[in-house]
Amino acid sequence: MILGCPTFELCDADPATLQRACQQPGHYTVRVEPLACTQALHSHGFYYCDTLIEPYCRPDWLLEHPHPEVGLLPQPPLSELLAIAHGAFVHGRFHRDPAINRAHAEARYAQWLEQLHTSGKVWGLTWRQDLLAFIAVEGNQLVLHATASHARGQGKAKYLWSPLCRLLFKRGHTEVRSSISASNLAVLNLYASLGFKFRHAKDIYHRLSP
pLDDT in tens, 107-126: 989 999 999 999 999 999 99
Average pLDDT of the segment spanning 139-168: 95
Torsion of CA 98, 100, 106, 110, to 10 degrees: -130
Separation CA 63–CA 61 (nearest Å): 6
Decide: residue 97, CB within 10 A, 0-12 exposed, 13-18 middle, 19+ buried. Answer: buried
Q: What is the pLDDT of residue 1?
A: 45
The band of 187, judged by pLDDT with boundaries at 50, 70 and 90, is very high
pLDDT higher than 70, residue 62: yes
- Return the percentage of the chain with pLDDT > 90, whole number: 75
Round the average pLDDT of the chain to a whole number and report it. 92
Separation CA 63–CA 65 (nearest Å): 7
Average pLDDT of the segment spanning 165-186: 96
Weakest-pLDDT range from 64-68, 69-73, 102-106, 127-131: 102-106
Q: What is the pLDDT of residue 44?
A: 92
Looking at the DSSP assignment, which residues form a beta bridge with residue 57? 176
The band of 4, judged by pLDDT with boundaries at 50, 70 and 90, is low
Is 203 in contact with 20 (CB distance < 8 Å)? no
The band of 21, judged by pLDDT with boundaries at 50, 70 and 90, is confident
Average pLDDT of the segment spanning 64-89: 96
The band of 25, judged by pLDDT with boundaries at 50, 70 and 90, is confident
Separation CA 175–CA 199 (nearest Å): 13
User: Can you count the helices (H) and strands (E) in the chain?
Assistant: 7, 10
pLDDT higher than 70, residue 3: no
Q: What is the C-alpha R_g of the chain?
A: 18
Cα–Cα–Cα angle for 76, 89, 133, rounded to 5 degrees:
30
